[in-house]
A and B are shown apart, each in its own frame.
Chain A
Amino acid sequence: MAERTLDPREIRKRNERRQMFDRMRRYRFIYVLLIPVLLYFLVFSYYPMLLGIVNSFREIKLLGGATFVGWENYQEIFSSPVYSQAFANTLIVGVGTFLVQFLWGLLLALALNELRYKFSRSFYQTVSYIPNLLSWSVVGSIWITLLAPNGLVNGFLELFAGDGFRPIVFMSERSLARGIMIFTGAWKGAGYYAALFLAAVISINPTLYEAASIDGASRFQQLMRITVPSLKPTLKIVTMLGVMGMLRNFDQIFVMANSSIMDQVRNLLYLIYNDGIVQFKVGPASAAACVVLVATMVISFTVRKLIGYDKVD
């Protein structure tokens, strides 16, 4: 009986498999500890997500059965001009907020890093971070009040305009609506980004600055040649985090939108809420939620490739 010669690749695979099982046996306690975490994600993340995907192909009665309707829910939302508009609004406000927040946070972090006294740095960092701790109900109310006809902003404008000034109802100006959402969104989140950037800035090796200084580099040159390049990994992480959350803005629009500006700012999550929760149309709402999921994945993977997220710097 002829002996079978084992393929070296097969031998390597077998060895790897054996090693894997050995490691699992050795670290079995850690794997056991991971089970609750795994269960948590299965129950609270993946199961609802899977259910949402299934529901997007069904017409659902709240207290009755569900019927399979194929792509009907998707056809409904893709043929709806309201959804198209909402998708555009989601992207414009989402991308705008991310970009402004990103730059604002970066500039803030660089500015904070320039402060020599620890107390003043902590103070300004805390002040800039506080809006991020507040809910949108609070932040929205603050800005609605500031931008009201008798609010602070109109008060300033009146100082310059003088008598006969007619207050601007900012929150009903369609041309300003998206800008206001982008600005207020960035205002709320800039402190958070600044905290992330600042943590990276202060961990840069100070000897690099000393060497550059000896070589005659100006502060600006040090900033552009040392600080910003050293921040690259953090910038990538913040970009990925921002992009993944870009399409998930609901609270801001729910709190700050009104009829005058709704067309300019109504986004997909707001429509999902309106269809799914208010009107009990679970099927189309689930389909729209799946679109948001897919869009987020596509945008995230694209940005990941574009910024070379997986490349080691």
Chain B
Amino acid sequence: MKKLLSAMLILVLALSALAATAVAEGEGGTVRMLVNVTGGKDEEENALWAEALGAATGLTIELEKPASDYGNILMQKLSAGESYDLIYIDASQYANLVDQGALTDITDYIANSEILSNNVPESEWEDLKVDGRIYAGFNKRELHILVNLNKVMLENAGIDYTQIEPTLDGYYEVFKALREANPSEDFYPFNTILSENWDLQPWMASQGLKGGVVVDEADGKTYVPYATDAAAPVWEWLKKLYDENLLDPASFVDKTTDMRNKLGAASQQTAVDVDWAAWVGLQNANAASGGVSTDEYEIVSLPGCQTPDGSYMLHKGNASLFAIPVNATNVEGAIKVLEYFATQEGGELLSLGIEGHDYTVSEDGTYTLTEIGASHAMDHGAPVPIYKDFVNPVGLNLGVEEALTYLDYASIETIIPNEADYKSIVGKWGISIVRGEVETLEGLASMREELVSMGICDK
């Protein structure tokens, strides 16, 4: 009996250990990956995903995907000296880890790889350079933010969205018309995430101001454009919207999820926000899956305000990356995975998912999402893969194609290591200005002062 119990205990422990790590056998060495958003949606699919990646690359893939608290786990594992060949990181972590000397310089690997050099746009590599060197490859291609609008609500207010004047005044008139058409107390024409201020770029463009930290070419010093006096008209515009009940007061505290829910078909408590291009399609897809027709609800997109020189200015998401830690044991294998991610097939694995599980391909080459695949919304880490010529074989969600036409106006913001402090300071003073607690110029001066004191910029 004792032996039986012991055997069962060992079996349970062994199964638990196996369940925690999805392993796919291969012959080209083992690549250990610590991932966040990439892979399957559950443990079972993680194993299938790792198996598919292993089969495609000839590697043994060990995939670890913590259920939550990724940043904490990544830090603990790295500081404990645990060895991974690829770790998923965001742009802010990239800056910190490069500063720590924790990442392998892969500049030469990229130069020697035809796939990495040719399949990934050069501009994307440029964005990753730190003192001319590159320390990570890409998980996905980042899209841009732009103005999302409820087309049906606009039409009910007598507005053709293609005719909206791309100025602050033009949008003010739109919000006023929306308010008149929707007097409900729970409805506000516009919502934004002021506390995090990542979605102000389409409005700041009206003054030609770029988000994040910028280098002044005149003296080489860094500054935050949103904190300059030039940004005053936009902050005052936001204050006017707030004063006139056009801006949702919850914008001071709302998180991104709240904003998305309010624009969503189920609630429609706001008609306009600024969100990522992919969310235009996701809102429409969610509405369609809920049985809501496009006559009742449709989200469309616009690039926001024109810049003083008549163009547009949007920003792309900070990169989500795969880096090779300096203690990695299989750098060659890790590079092979990065190469695969930058191909059409790799892109399909990262977006559609696993063939036979998330989608099927008929004899005539038609791709069809399975029920599971449809519920995963073509996102297994990269809704839009990094491969520059990637073609989604299933097609894009409604509205995304239009949103992608504005991609050329987008560029990334400088990577800020202490990004949380930046957002917090700009958000705090911005909200004070919008609430009327401080005069605009006084608030901007305080914003600048605090940004400098926290070492975020020079002036």
Residue positions of A touching B, CB distance < 8 A: 60-64, 81-82, 144, 148-150, 166-167, 169, 171-172, 258-260, 262-263, 274, 276-280, 282
Please report which residues of chain B, range 400-459, place their CB below 8 angstroms from some CB of chain A when the two chains form the complex: 417-418, 420, 423-428, 431-432, 435, 453-454
Q: Are B428 and A63 in contact (CB under 8 A)?
A: no
Q: In the assembled complex, which residues on chain B have CB atoms less than 8 Å from the CB atom of A263?
A: 428
Residue of B100, B253, B428 with most chain A CB atoms under a 10 A cut-off: B253
Which residue of A63, A260, A277 is within 8 Å of B253 (Cβ)?
A260
- Docked Cα-Cα span, A172 to B252, in Å, equals 6
Which residue of A63, A258, A277 is within 8 Å of B101 (Cβ)?
A63
Q: Are B326 and A81 in contact (CB under 8 A)?
A: no
Q: Within the complex, what minimum Cβ distance (angstroms) separates B36 from chain A? A: 14
Is B162 at the interface (CB under 8 A from chain A)?
A: no
**Which of B73-81, B148-156, B382-390 touches A?**
B73-81
Q: Are B325 and A63 in contact (CB under 8 A)?
A: yes
- Docked Cα-Cα span, A276 to B100, in Å, equals 13
Q: Within the complex, what minimum Cβ distance (angstroms) separates A153 from chain B? A: 13
Please report which residues of chain B, range 186-210, place their CB below 8 angstroms from some CB of chain A when the two chains form the complex: 186, 194-196
Q: In the assembled complex, which residues on chain B have CB atoms less than 8 Å from the CB atom of A144?
A: 253
Q: Given contacts A167-B249, A260-B427, A276-B75, are A64 and B100 in contact (CB under 8 A)?
A: yes
Is B117 at the interface (CB under 8 A from chain A)?
A: no
Q: How many pairs, one residue from A and one from B, have CB atoms within 8 Å of each other in the complex?
A: 86
Is B96 at the interface (CB under 8 A from chain A)?
A: yes
Size category, B interface: 35 or more
Q: In the assembled complex, which residues on chain A have CB atoms less than 8 Å from the CB atom of B16?
A: none
- Docked Cα-Cα span, A82 to B417, in Å, equals 17
Q: Are B100 and A259 in contact (CB under 8 A)?
A: no
Q: Within the complex, what minimum Cβ distance (angstroms) separates B55 from chain A? A: 31
- One digit per residue, 1 when the CB lies within 8 angstroms of any chain A CB and 0 when it does not, for chain B 63-83 equals 000000001100100110100
Instruction: Name the residue of chain A whose CB is nearest to the CB of B81.
Output: A63
Instruction: Please classify the interface of chain B as helix (H, G, I), strand (E, B), loop, or mixed, using the class held by over half of its residues.
Output: helix
Q: Are A148 and B253 in contact (CB under 8 A)?
A: yes
- Docked Cα-Cα span, A149 to B79, in Å, equals 43
- Docked Cα-Cα span, A169 to B249, in Å, equals 7
- One digit per residue, 1 when the CB lies within 8 angstroms of any chain A CB and 0 when it does not, for chain B 246-261 equals 0011101100000000
Is B228 at the interface (CB under 8 A from chain A)?
A: no
Residue of B252, B426, B432 with most chain A CB atoms under a 10 A cut-off: B252
Q: Are B101 and A61 in contact (CB under 8 A)?
A: yes
Is B330 at the interface (CB under 8 A from chain A)?
A: no
Q: In the assembled complex, which residues on chain A have CB atoms less than 8 Å from the CB atom of B75?
A: 62, 276-277, 280
Q: In the assembled complex, which residues on chain B have CB atoms less than 8 Å from the CB atom of A282?
A: 79
Q: Are A149 and B428 in contact (CB under 8 A)?
A: no
Q: Within the complex, what minimum Cβ distance (angstroms) separates B329 from chain A? A: 13
Q: Are A63 and B100 in contact (CB under 8 A)?
A: yes
Is B119 at the interface (CB under 8 A from chain A)?
A: no
Residue of A60, A277, A282 with most chain B CB atoms under a 10 A cut-off: A277
Q: In the assembled complex, which residues on chain A have CB atoms less than 8 Å from the CB atom of B81?
A: 63
Which residue of A61, A82, A172, A262 is within 8 Å of B102 (Cβ)?
A61
Is B97 at the interface (CB under 8 A from chain A)?
A: yes
Is B57 at the interface (CB under 8 A from chain A)?
A: no
Q: In the assembled complex, which residues on chain A have CB atoms less than 8 Å from the CB atom of B79?
A: 60, 62, 282
Is B327 at the interface (CB under 8 A from chain A)?
A: yes
A64-B101, A258-B195, A259-B195 are known; give 14 further A-B pairs, CB within 8 A. Answer: A61-B101, A62-B97, A82-B454, A148-B253, A149-B250, A150-B250, A166-B249, A169-B249, A169-B253, A258-B253, A259-B427, A260-B195, A276-B75, A280-B97
- Docked Cα-Cα span, A63 to B424, in Å, equals 29
Q: Are A279 and B96 in contact (CB under 8 A)?
A: yes
Which residue of A64, A82, A169 is within 8 Å of B252 (Cβ)?
A169
Q: In the assembled complex, which residues on chain A have CB atoms less than 8 Å from the CB atom of B428?
A: 259-260, 262-263
Q: In the assembled complex, which residues on chain A have CB atoms less than 8 Å from the CB atom of B325?
A: 63
Q: Are B100 and A172 in contact (CB under 8 A)?
A: no
Can you list 17 pairs linking A and B with CB atoms under 8 Å apart? A62-B79, A63-B78, A63-B101, A63-B326, A81-B453, A149-B248, A166-B249, A169-B249, A172-B253, A172-B431, A258-B427, A259-B194, A259-B196, A260-B431, A276-B75, A278-B71, A279-B96
Q: In the assembled complex, which residues on chain A have CB atoms less than 8 Å from the CB atom of B425?
A: 259
- Docked Cα-Cα span, A150 to B253, in Å, equals 12
Instruction: Name the residue of chain A whose CB is nearest to the CB of B99.
Output: A280
Q: Within the complex, what minimum Cβ distance (angstroms) separates B371 from chain A? A: 31
Q: Are A62 and B195 in contact (CB under 8 A)?
A: no
Q: Are B71 and A148 in contact (CB under 8 A)?
A: no
- Docked Cα-Cα span, A149 to B191, in Å, equals 13
- One digit per residue, 1 when the CB lies within 8 angstroms of any chain A CB and 0 when it does not, for chain B 90-120 equals 0010001100111000000000000000000
